[in-house]
């Protein structure tokens, strides 16, 4: 049963918090959904903490109270709540009664249906009621939203909305640095940089005046602009180094296109992609297929795949672990192509993995396997990425054959970056790539494609194409 964590940052809201919590506890949710409420008292000097604890006593198990000794700001309070959230989804609920809990179904619907990674409630779309307040506040909001949209490449109508819902795992994996209201800008920008699918929905809005206690000030807008500039220049979207490297490589769109073009001639009509990640290659390879199963083992990747590919009726998203035959079994014999790019090297028992690929294929089907080439350039980059090994062509060919494949081709790919991989990973012992290096490399892919086969050294990667023999209905047995 899906659980939604309602995150309530509160600073000196003794007057409004009890009513807000009553409404949040009674708010309508979609069928089968439950909620928990996490109140963060952000160093209040009134009775906010006591009001929150009283509500928790009236709803044991549903309301939890966290506290900052000093006032640190809305962003800091959200980080504290997010770290303790148990829900698959989270929703930010300000404590001041400006936002109406009756809108929860609107915010959660696209998330629960798997169509969105985040949903913003907009105060400026026509459709529901909103209190009419300051003209210049509205103008400033629209200008600031336009500025953030330009930096993030979005077309949102209300970046500064306090109603934001999202998948908890996604936002928890993003390093959020802002303590104050500029958190709204940082979160929006970093969701865009992670290529999250964002929806907007109209919401009710009952804004307060300054006299009624509204806390945001003009200086917060300035901090928001500075935050935008900071994180446009200093891309900072992953907490862990390995995913950060993959994110940087995912940004090399021309290179990904080159890889897709290279393997496309070997791909059939019914495809299983192992380790699809967030779908950078999937989106290029899926069009025109009768069936395309995009698989991964990470919950975050699976959710992102479902949202990004929801518009394609021929695409299915599935959890498939390369080492577990039970994950493959429902697909056995239904696919004519298994694509496995940069995955086998992450598996200790690579022969078992290749046997699973053979067994899942229909007779005559192909496996396309891309692995890193050359143990001699194994370095820090491989360690960070979790590579067990790098391969030589005879080793890969022999393992493909032992797994039951007739090997059609084994060839090197991406020779041009081999010196750079050796220099960065072996000599300098770097644990990531420079974004500038990758940007320059990606802009010159048209040249590398022409030079690659003429270079005298091996590639960074090996691609093997193996065919399952006709008549081999059962495939190679696992051991």
Residue 24 phi, psi (nearest 5): -65, -40
Same domain? 74 vs 60: yes
Question: Would you say residue 371 has pLDDT above 50?
Answer: yes
Same domain? 349 vs 211: no
Among the candidates 238, 273, 297, a domain finishes at 238
* Domain CATH number, residue 166: 3.90.550.10
The larger pLDDT score, comparing residue 264 to residue 248, is at 264
Q: Would you call 74 exposed, middle or buried from its count of C-beta atoms within 10 A (0-12, 13-18, 19+)?
A: buried
Which structural domain, as residue segments, surrounds residue 50? Answer: 3-238
- Burial code (b: 16+ CB inside 10 Å, e: under 16) for 36-53 equals bbbbbbbbbeebbbebbb
- In the sheet that holds 406-413, the strands lie side by side as 315-319, 291-296, 270-274, 335-341, 361-372, 461-467, 406-413
Q: Would you call 162 exposed, middle or buried from its count of C-beta atoms within 10 A (0-12, 13-18, 19+)?
A: buried
Same domain? 233 vs 253: no
- Tell me, yes or no, whether 25 lies in a domain: yes
- Tell me, yes or no, whether 345 lies in a domain: yes
- Tell me, yes or no, whether 29 lies in a domain: yes
Same domain? 49 vs 133: yes
* pLDDT tens digits along 3-49: 999 999 999 999 999 999 999 999 999 899 999 999 999 999 999 99
- Tell me, yes or no, whether 368 lies in a domain: yes
So what's the pLDDT on residue 110? Answer: 95
Same domain? 73 vs 161: yes
Same domain? 224 vs 91: yes
* pLDDT tens digits along 319-343: 999 999 999 999 999 999 999 999 9
Among the candidates 187, 221, 238, a domain finishes at 238
* pLDDT tens digits along 228-243: 999 988 888 887 766 6
- Counting residues of the chain whose pLDDT is more than 90, the rounded percentage is 71
* Domain CATH number, residue 282: 3.40.50.150
- Do the strands 315-319 and 291-296 form a parallel or antiparallel pair, or are they unpaired? parallel
**Element (DSSP H or E) covering residue 166:** strand 164-167
- Tell me, yes or no, whether 206 lies in a domain: yes
* pLDDT tens digits along 63-83: 999 999 999 999 999 999 999
Could you please report the per-residue DSSP string of 402-430? HTT-EEEEEEEE--TTHHHHHIIIIIS--
So what's the pLDDT on residue 265? Answer: 96
* Contact criterion met (CB below 8 Å) for 370 and 341: yes
Instruction: Give the residue among 45, 54, 67 at the shortest CA–CA distance from 25.
Output: 54
Among the candidates 205, 223, 238, a domain finishes at 238
pLDDT average, residue stretch 128-153 = 78
Question: Would you say residue 132 has pLDDT above 70?
Answer: no
CA distances from 181 to 9, 40, 161, 236, 283 (A): 11, 15, 10, 18, 35
Question: Would you say residue 91 has pLDDT above 80?
Answer: yes
Residue 477's pLDDT band, with cuts at 50, 70 and 90, is very low
- Tell me, yes or no, whether 147 lies in a domain: yes
So what's the pLDDT on residue 75? Answer: 96
pLDDT average, residue stretch 248-258 = 84
Same domain? 213 vs 261: no
| Cα 477 to Cα 479: distance, rounded to the nearest angstrom | 6
Same domain? 173 vs 270: no
The larger pLDDT score, comparing residue 458 to residue 473, is at 458
| Cα 335 to Cα 293: distance, rounded to the nearest angstrom | 9
Same domain? 102 vs 198: yes
Same domain? 357 vs 223: no
Same domain? 359 vs 443: yes
Task: Report the chain's mean pLDDT, rounded to a whole number.
Answer: 90
What global pTM score does this model have?
Answer: 0.80
Give me the number of domains the chain comprises.
2
Same domain? 184 vs 111: yes
**Alpha-carbon radius of gyration of the chain:** 26
Give the Cα-Cα-Cα angle 154, 120, 71 (nearest 5 degrees): 110
79-93, 368-382, 430-444, 449-463: range with lowest mean pLDDT = 430-444
* DSSP β-bridge partners for residue 274: 340
């Amino acid at each position: 049963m899906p659980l939604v964590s309602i995150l309530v940052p509160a600073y000196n809201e003794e007057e409004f918090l009890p009513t807000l919590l009553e409404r949040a506890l009674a708010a309508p949710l979609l069928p089968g959904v439950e909620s928990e409420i996490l109140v963060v008292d952000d160093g209040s000097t009134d009775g906010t903490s006591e009001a929150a604890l009283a509500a928790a006593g009236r709803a044991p198990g549903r309301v939890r109270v966290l506290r900052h000794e000093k006032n640190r700001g809305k962003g800091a309070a959200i980080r504290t709540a997010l770290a303790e959230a148990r829900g698959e989804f989270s929703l930010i609920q300000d404590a001041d009664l400006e936002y109406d809990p009756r809108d929860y179904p609107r915010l959660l619907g696209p998330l629960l249906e798997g169509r969105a990674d985040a949903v913003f409630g907009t105060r400026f779309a026509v459709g529901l009621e909103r209190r009419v307040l300051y003209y210049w506040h509205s103008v400033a909001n629209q200008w600031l939203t336009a500025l953030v949209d330009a930096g993030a490449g979005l077309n949102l109508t209300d970046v500064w909305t306090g109603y934001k819902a999202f998948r908890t795992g996604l936002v928890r994996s993003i390093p959020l640095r802002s303590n104050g209201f500029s958190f709204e800008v940082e979160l929006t920008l970093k969701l865009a940089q992670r290529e999250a699918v964002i929806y907007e929905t109209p919401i009710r809005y009952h804004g307060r005046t300054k006299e009624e206690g509204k806390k945001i000030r003009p200086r917060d807008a300035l901090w928001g602009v500075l935050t935008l500039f900071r994180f446009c220049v200093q891309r900072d979207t992953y907490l862990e180094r390995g995913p950060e490297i993959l994110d940087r490589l995912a940004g090399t769109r021309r290179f990904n296109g080159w890889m897709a073009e290279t393997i496309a001639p070997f791909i059939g009509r019914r495809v299983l992609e192992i380790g699809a990640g967030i779908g950078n290659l999937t989106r290029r390879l899926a069009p025109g297929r009768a069936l395309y199963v995009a698989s991964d083992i990470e919950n975050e990747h699976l959710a992102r795949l479902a949202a990004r590919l929801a518009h394609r009726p021929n695409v299915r998203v599935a959890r498939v672990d390369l080492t577990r035959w039970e994950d493959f079994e429902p697909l056995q014999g239904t696919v004519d192509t298994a694509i496995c790019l940069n995955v086998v090297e992450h598996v200790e028992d690579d022969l078992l993995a290749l046997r699973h690929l053979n067994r899942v294929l229909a007779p005559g089907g192909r496996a396309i396997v891309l692995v890193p080439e050359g143990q001699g350039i194994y370095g820090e980059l491989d360690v960070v990425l979790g590579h067990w090994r790098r391969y030589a062509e005879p080793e890969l060919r022999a393992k493909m054959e032992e797994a039951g494949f007739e090997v059609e081709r084994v060839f090197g790919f991406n020779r041009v970056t081999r010196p750079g991989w050796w220099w960065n990973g072996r000599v300098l012992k770097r644990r990531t790539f420079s974004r500038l290096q990758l940007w320059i490399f990606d802009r010159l892919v048209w040249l590398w494609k022409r030079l690659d086969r003429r270079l005298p050294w091996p590639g960074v990667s090996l691609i093997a194409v193996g065919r399952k023999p006709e008549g081999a209905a059962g495939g190679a047995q696992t051991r």
